[in-house]
Structure 1
Amino acid sequence: MPKAQETTLEIDLKALKHNFTYLKSKLQSNSKFLAVVKAFGYGSDACKIAQYLQDFNVDYFAVAYVNEGVELRNAGISKPILVLHPQAANFKKLIEHCLEPSLYNAKVLNEFIKIAVEEKQTDYPIHIKFNTGLNRLGFWENDVEYVVSKLKLTQSVKVKSIFSHLAASEDLNEKEFTENQIENFKSISSKFIDAIGYKPMTHICNTSGILNYPGAHFDMVRSGIGLYGFGNSEKENENFKPIATLKTIISQIHLIEKGESVGYNRAFKSDDFLKTATLPIGHADGIGRQYGNGKGFVTINGQKAPIVGNVCMDMIMVNITNIDCKEGDEVIVFDQNNTAETLAEATKTISYELITSISQRVKRVFIK
């Protein structure tokens, strides 16, 4: 790969294919695959990721919001797109772009049916979400009769799937809780299908669900973080390849005398002579202030360089006292060796937060 000349996020499409192929190998033969590309493709670029995966016969895509789905349609994505958290204000736009809403309470169900009728729709595909323990979005099991009664009064919509979301599928200490969620979902699905008179698809598994609960793959599974290279456990991480490498360069090197400070608020004061390198990346690029003051690090010529002082909006300073380097040298913020998960753990957060925070002003380069 070419050396960085500016702050760049490299996306390895070969690694993406590897992750997709690995996850597909875990599925039951009749289970469809939904790729989650919300949040700008987990910080990568949703349109480019979806275009690539569409060629590998992904069955479905999912986004969080309607505008994300519109961007995919404008980029030529023709596969079905599930919108996981649509807002009623965007329902007409959703229909205009043939997106499929997740409906999760009486208010959004009734509002969508109203819009579908106004737009003269017939059998418009919708997805009904049930809450089985995450307690975030979703109808309750005792809402089945109400939902079905509303659906039987209209020809404007038809249920494409019923689904739920696992709360702790990556944590095997919570296996009993997860298995209870799955059994609850089976019960809800059975009641719903009996009442509605036809069989929509059912799905509950996220990436960790795919890996840890093969008996719950049902008609479809949903994967987000796994596609981007993380398996939510040390064991499974060995089977994945992080697709993103965040690189930058050394803009300037400073010699810091004993007693001098570095950065805003004089958060760092040197107790000895040291050398620092200033890098053109900061909290506006996704490297939050929590990574400052020695908690976060970068890699320069194979050696770790801790972040010195507070992270600035557009820059960070790192300690290079014992590193042989010069201005213009490449710097690795994270890659397949020192992963985003490793860096995130330094501040007690998760890879999801770090990779989705990488600003869209950072140049993306796609490597095939």
Structure 2
Amino acid sequence: MPKAQETVLEIDLGALAHNYKTILSQVPENVKFMAVIKAYAYGNDSINIARKLEELGADYFAVAYIQEGVRLRQAGITTPIMIFHPQQENFDQLIENCLEPSLYSDRLLTDFIATAEKLGQKDYPVHIKFNTGMNRLGFSPKKVETVFERLATTSAIKVHSVFSHLAASDDWQEREFTLQQINTFRKIAARFVEEFSYEPILHVCNTSAIFNYPEAAMSMVRCGIGLYGFGNDKEIDKKLKPVGTLKTLISQIQHLEEGETVGYNRTFKATRPSRIATLPLGYADGIHRKYGNEKTGVLVHEQFAPIVGNICMDILMIDVTDIDCEEGDQVVIFGEQPHATDFAAAGKTISYELITGISQRVTRRIIQA
């Protein structure tokens, strides 16, 4: 095997295309597709991911913050971009960059209308979010009439979509609650059409709901984690391919005698003569201390090597006593194997937290389709 040069996150655009097409095959014809590329496209590379998804035909993008959208516009992305969590102090910049806000509170709606009117906008596209049970962001269903009355007072904005967010579409034990959310949203949507005599884009399905509640696809679906190879279900995971593979190299190999210890606080003690490999990767890169002390491991020449001792800021150690390897050899932290879902579970967390937490100091290497 050739020697590795540095720690890299390889981003496979072929895997992205596979996931996009696999997910799209679950969606009824003529339903739009919103690709969620917030948080650097879930820790990958939002610009290259967006360019590939634009090429594949995604109808909408969604990010969390205005600056994320500005960055995409500066890179030449022209697809409509919804901002999940816009803030009033950046509304001018949002409009300047043709970004579309999600409006979910009285304050936000009032402030955005004021800004749009001040800037002389006409029918500026906005998205109205209703809270149907997530209890995180969104107008209460009880405020439907108040929201509609406020929207009717201005021509500066126009509602392009109405949406909500499902709380547990991946959990069959919560099926009744999920169906209740979907039903509540349908009622809100029907009232909107009755009030304004047109149907905006309607969307409530996230990745899990695309697979588990295809009847709720409505006129658009929003997909985030699935695009990057994770479906919140082992069977769905089998249909998808991880886009990101985190790789590093062996910096040095230490030879320990029985009884010698490794790392801070000496939490690993060799019970036999051992070979311990040091890797240039640590909690500053997103591999947190919770994965240390043999909670999980990595692959060296396709063989499992447990992480030993406490993970350091820039370094972690693995036991390679039974593996034929040398300094400079490549190590796979997660990808197809170990799968990020399993790696994350060893730290009692989820793939989302692991992959979005990979530091920006880790080099991104694009693998073309």
Equivalent residue for 2:270? 270
* 2:227 aligned with 1:235: no
Tell me how far 1:198 sits from its aligned partner.
2.2
Equivalent residues of 2:258, 2:273 under 8 A apart = yes
DSSP 3-state at the match of 2:258: coil
Equivalent residue for 1:72? 72
RMSD: 1.2
Moved more, 310-319 or 254-263: 254-263
Equivalent residue for 2:173? 173
For 1:265 and 1:337, the matched residues in 2 are separated by 30
* 2:117 aligned with 1:117: yes
For 1:204 and 1:194, the matched residues in 2 are separated by 19
Question: Cα deviation per residue 1:4-55 (whole Å; 9 max; x = unaligned)?
Answer: 3210111111110000001111111121000000000101110110011101
Equivalent residues of 1:11, 1:244 under 8 A apart = yes
Tell me how far 1:98 sits from its aligned partner.
0.4
Tell me how far 1:3 sits from its aligned partner.
5.6
Equivalent residues of 2:282, 2:316 under 8 A apart = yes
For 2:130 and 2:59, the matched residues in 1 are separated by 22
Question: Cα deviation per residue 1:297-321 (whole Å; 9 max; x = unaligned)?
Answer: 1110111111111111111011111
Query: What does 1:158-237 align with in structure 2 at a 5 Å threshold?
Result: 158-237=158-237
Query: What does 1:130-149 align with in structure 2 at a 5 Å threshold?
Result: 130-149=130-149
Equivalent residue for 1:95? 95
Equivalent residues of 1:259, 1:270 under 8 A apart = yes
For 1:181 and 1:154, the matched residues in 2 are separated by 29
Tell me how far 1:353 sits from its aligned partner.
0.6
Letter in 2 for 1:313: M
Question: Cα deviation per residue 1:126-168 (whole Å; 9 max; x = unaligned)?
Answer: 0000001111100011111111111111111000000000111
DSSP 3-state at the match of 1:242: coil
Equivalent residues of 1:145, 1:195 under 8 A apart = no
Question: Cα deviation per residue 1:175-232 (whole Å; 9 max; x = unaligned)?
Answer: 1111111001001111122123322110000001101111100010000011000111
For 1:180 and 1:42, the matched residues in 2 are separated by 29
Equivalent residue for 2:316? 316
DSSP 3-state at the match of 2:276: strand
Equivalent residues of 2:230, 2:240 under 8 A apart = yes
Letter in 1 for 2:32: K
Q: TM-score scaled by structure 2? A: 0.98
Aligned length: 368
Letter in 2 for 1:17: A
Equivalent residues of 2:3, 2:328 under 8 A apart = no
For 2:77 and 2:311, the matched residues in 1 are separated by 38
Letter in 1 for 2:293: N
For 1:304 and 1:44, the matched residues in 2 are separated by 25
For 1:3 and 1:175, the matched residues in 2 are separated by 50
Equivalent residue for 2:282? 282
DSSP 3-state at the match of 2:174: helix
DSSP 3-state at the match of 2:120: coil
For 1:132 and 1:240, the matched residues in 2 are separated by 29
Letter in 2 for 1:168: A
Equivalent residue for 1:335? 335
Q: TM-score scaled by structure 1? A: 0.98
DSSP 3-state at the match of 1:359: coil
Equivalent residues of 1:166, 1:178 under 8 A apart = yes
DSSP 3-state at the match of 1:180: helix
After superposition, the Cα gap between the structure-2 partners of 1:219 and 1:307, relative to the gap in structure 1 and judged at 3 Å, is: same
For 1:303 and 1:15, the matched residues in 2 are separated by 24
DSSP 3-state at the match of 2:179: helix
For 1:310 and 1:188, the matched residues in 2 are separated by 52
Tell me how far 1:289 sits from its aligned partner.
0.9
Equivalent residues of 2:2, 2:329 under 8 A apart = no
| Aligned structure 1 segments of 4 or more residues deviating by more than 4 angstroms | none
DSSP 3-state at the match of 2:149: helix
Equivalent residue for 1:258? 258
Equivalent residue for 1:363? 363
Tell me how far 1:59 sits from its aligned partner.
0.2
Tell me how far 1:337 sits from its aligned partner.
2.6
Moved more, 155-164 or 261-270: 261-270
Equivalent residue for 1:14? 14
Letter in 2 for 1:338: P
Q: Tell me, which stretches of 5 or more residues in structure 1 are unaligned? A: none
Percent identity over paired residues: 56
For 1:299 and 1:79, the matched residues in 2 are separated by 39
For 2:22 and 2:75, the matched residues in 1 are separated by 26
Equivalent residues of 1:51, 1:77 under 8 A apart = yes
Q: Tell me, which stretches of 5 or more residues in structure 2 are unaligned? A: none
